[in-house]
Amino acid sequence: MDTTSPEKIPFLRDPAKLAILYQILTVVGVGLLCYYLVHNTLANLERQSISTGFGFIEKEASFEIGESVIKYSAADSYGRALMVGFFNTLIVSFIGILLTVILGTFLGIARLSSNWLLAKISAIYIEIFQDIPILLQLFFWYAFFYEILPSPRAALNPMSGMFLCNRGLIFGIPVWHDAFKYAAIALILGCVIIFFMKKWAAKRQAATGMIFPVFRVSLAIIIGLPVITWFLAGAPTEMSIPKLSGFNFKGGLTISPEFTALLLGLVLYTAAFVAEVVRAGIQSVSKGQKEAAMSIGLKQGHVLNLVVLPQALRVIVPPLTSQLLNLTKNSSLAVAIGYPDFVSVAGTTINQTGQAIEGVALIMMVYLIFSLSTSAYMNWYNKKIALVER
């Protein structure tokens, strides 16, 4: 700026100052809006004498929940009931995400396969599952389970100790024994060993060029270590076998039709989108890369694993994150088919206590936690695989 200029720029014509003014006005406006909403809500609640606050968390829930991984009964608090819902959502999302990534990747690669039948089947699958609303798919799978499967008294018995009926898939599980605790510790230990072994193997390969069979040794450690521990701890083999008594099976582990229908619906639906994401990623790697890899004599598997996928992943990961978040959020449709996820339990809590605003705030918070942690992990992974330019 010409500092000698005698004329001062008027305030309203100075774009820099105006920009600051606009920003202040916006902040004030948003602040007023928030104040208005909160104040109005509180005033309305007060006027209708609806109680507020999170005091209800401590009160006895006095309703039962169909399935739970933690111990729960109607005598527990609303807080405990909400925890049950939280873990139910966590489990279905976690298993769902794992299966979706596996199935989606497989479908995406299959769609590009030179095998005509495989490519066409994959394409048809993607078109069908991508185009039908997820809620309808959930209703379909749920109805499929309770309409097709027999009642517990006429349960299918495909193998000894396993039953299939409209109460779910019920199978024997080992009775709890300390040996399993030790085996679990051994498994974690095995993972740590593998982590360091991989580092060592990479270093050695870089230094000497010798390839260490990481995959095979890892597999041996993951399976072998827990098995040996279990054996040394006394090899307990007592099983809790389900038995029909009264209305239902007692003992064993039950996987309910609600859970299965929800998981199946979410995985099959989301996998179709993931498949397209994977296909886009692979197609983004130029053909020359693949040809170059082949021309230096790499095996088919190595071409995919060492050359194509590392480059494709950079394209795949961001939209993949978004699909996985969708899966988590879609799991809230569980309430339609009777799986007690967080939304379902929170909904009942809202209805029994009447504290809709607190309940909805909790629901939003839980999904925010799920989504932010998924995002954080995927962003970390994305950074890790990002192309390092040298």
Partner 1 sequence: MRQLKRVVPAIVAAFCLTAGVVTAGTLDDVKAKGFVQAGVNGDLFGFGKPDAKGVWKGLDVDTARAVAIAIFGDSQKVKFTPLTAKTRFTALQSGEIDVLTRNATQTLSRDTALGLDFAQVNYYDGQGFLIPKKLGVKSAKELDGASVCVLPGTTTELNVADFFRFNNMKMNPVVIENTAELSKAFFAGRCDCMTSDASQLAGIRAVSPNPGDYMILPEIISKEPLAPAVRHGDNQWKDIVNYSVLALIDAEELGITSKNVDEMLKSKNPKIQRFLGVIPGNGKALGLDEKWAYNIIKQIGNYGEVFERNIGVNTPLGIERGLNALWTNGGLMYSPPFK
Give the interface with partner 1 as residue ranges (CB under 8 A): 12, 25, 29, 32-33, 36, 39-40, 43, 45, 47-51, 62-66, 73-75, 139, 142-143, 146-147, 151, 166-167, 245-248, 250, 257-258, 335-338, 340, 344, 347-348, 350-356
Smaller CB separation from partner 1, 118 or 335: 335
- Residue closer to partner 1 by CB (options 276, 358) is 358
Q: Which is closer to partner 1, CB of 222 or CB of 356?
A: 356
Work out how close the CB of 144 gets to partner 1 at its nearest, in angstroms, rounded to a whole number: 11
CB neighbourhood size of 330 (10 A): 19
- The label of the residue with tokens 């499967």 reads 149
Shortest distance, position 66 Cβ to partner 1, whole Å: 5
How far apart, in whole angstroms, are the C-alpha atoms of residue 264 and residue 267? Answer: 5
Q: Shortest approach of partner 1 to residue 329 CB, angstroms?
A: 18
How many CB atoms sit inside 10 A of residue 332's CB? 18
- Looking at beta carbons only, is 186 or 333 nearer to partner 1? 333
Query: Does an H or E element contain 249, and which?
Result: strand 248-250
Q: 279 to each of 103, 111, 275, 312, 373, how far by Cα in Å?
A: 13, 7, 6, 9, 26
Quote the least distance from Cβ 162 to partner 1, whole Å: 19
Placement of tokens 């095996």 in the chain: 299
Q: Find the DSSP H helices in 284-335.
A: 287-295, 300-302, 309-330
The SS3 assignment for 286 reads: coil
Q: Please report how many Cα atoms fall inside a 13 Å half-sphere around the Cα of residue 136, on the Cβ side.
A: 6
The one-letter amino acid code at 34 reads: C
User: Read out DSSP for 156-192?
Assistant: EEEETTEEEETTEEEE-EEPP-HHHHHHHHHHHHHHH
Q: Of 226 and 340, which has the nearer Cβ to partner 1?
A: 340
